[in-house]
Amino acid sequence: FLSLVAEFCCGFFVILILGNFWFLAVLYLLWLYLDWETPCTGGRRSQWVRSWTVWKYFREYFPIHLIKTSDLSPNHNYLLGFHPHGVLVAGAFGNFCTGPSFKNLFPGLTPYLHIMPIWFGCPFFREYIMSAGMVSASKESVSYVLNNEGGGHASIIVIGGAEESLNAHPGSLTLNILKRKGFIKMALKHGAHLVPVFSFGENELFKQVANPKGSWLRNVQEKLQKIMGFALPLFHARGVFQYSFGLIPYRQPIHTVVGSPIPVKRNLNPTTEEIEQLHALYLQKLRKLFEEHKRNYGIPEHKSLIFE
């Protein structure tokens, strides 16, 4: 979805350059130069954009739900780890970038969804995603959000990243997280409380071409991901008037469950051991969150999360 909108915006920019409106393209390039750091300094959200009626229909299509399990005091800053990535990351976008659900459930908190910096290099598209409340996933950007002395900020990071989207098969419960500890170090440096978030149904929206590890397709996808910075899963779902093939996601309910916060004391220079201990605790709390809610959302009792 993001790719399609980005391509449209880039195409529109090319039309401006090649057409009789090249001067508008030049003015925009000047604006881009002057505004380059904004995605790393809290972005530029627009409540008008976040409240568009189209997002209401987007959330109701699946539908998308946000479930609260514990209060989050606005006196603290939080780092929410979102799992799994899926193909579309629909739960993260629908719950944290549109509508009133998050604000109603967690009053006093402002959510910031961190995405890959590459998206903010797309002309016009960057303005759209910043308006929705998205900011860069760079260290500088996360630090800016979590450095709010008065509290009330919530950084949402899709921990598995683009690599995890290659595991987004229906029924898959594999998370790329064992080697991802940068978010733990960031939480410690800023004293941001950690909150595990699991989005049930995220992997059910598309069917992906079989790409087991070691296969030629998976090898190509992983090499391209390292080169370009984002993955290219080969997927399909339904069409507009038929259900056998297309790129429109299946209508599968998404329940994004926000867990209880893990208190974190500020530590500007955490040791490797301290990072490892907090990472292990986070994994424990994430697994517990999944186990407590899986039977509510159709996950068989014998199935559990797989950490890689």
| Same domain as 261, residue 187 | yes
176 burial level (CB within 10 Å; 0-12, 13-18, 19+): buried
| Same domain as 133, residue 10 | no
User: 183 with 282: CB under 8 angstroms?
Assistant: no
* Boundaries of domain holding 111: 40-307
| Same domain as 131, residue 71 | yes
> Please, what are the averages of pLDDT over each run of 10 residues along the chain (308 residues)?
54 62 76 93 96 95 97 98 94 95 97 93 87 96 96 97 91 96 97 98 94 92 81 85 85 97 97 98 98 96 96
| Same domain as 144, residue 129 | yes
Total-model pTM: 0.92
Q: For the segment 69-120, what is each residue's pLDDT rounded down to a tens digit?
A: 999 999 999 999 999 999 989 999 999 999 999 999 999 999 999 999 988 9
Which phi-psi region, left, alpha or beta, contains residue 285 (left: φ > 0; alpha: ψ -120 to 50)? alpha
| Same domain as 125, residue 103 | yes
Q: How many separate domains does the chain show?
A: 2
| Same domain as 91, residue 24 | no
| Same domain as 178, residue 118 | yes
The whole-number pLDDT of residue 232 equals 82
Which phi-psi region, left, alpha or beta, contains residue 161 (left: φ > 0; alpha: ψ -120 to 50)? left
The whole-number pLDDT of residue 26 equals 78
The whole-number pLDDT of residue 11 equals 60
The whole-number pLDDT of residue 24 equals 72
* Nearest-5° Cα angle at 56, 294 to 84: 30
What is the number of residues in the chain?
308
| Same domain as 82, residue 63 | yes
| Same domain as 259, residue 298 | yes
| Same domain as 30, residue 85 | no
Pick from 208, 240, 193: nearest CA to 78: 193
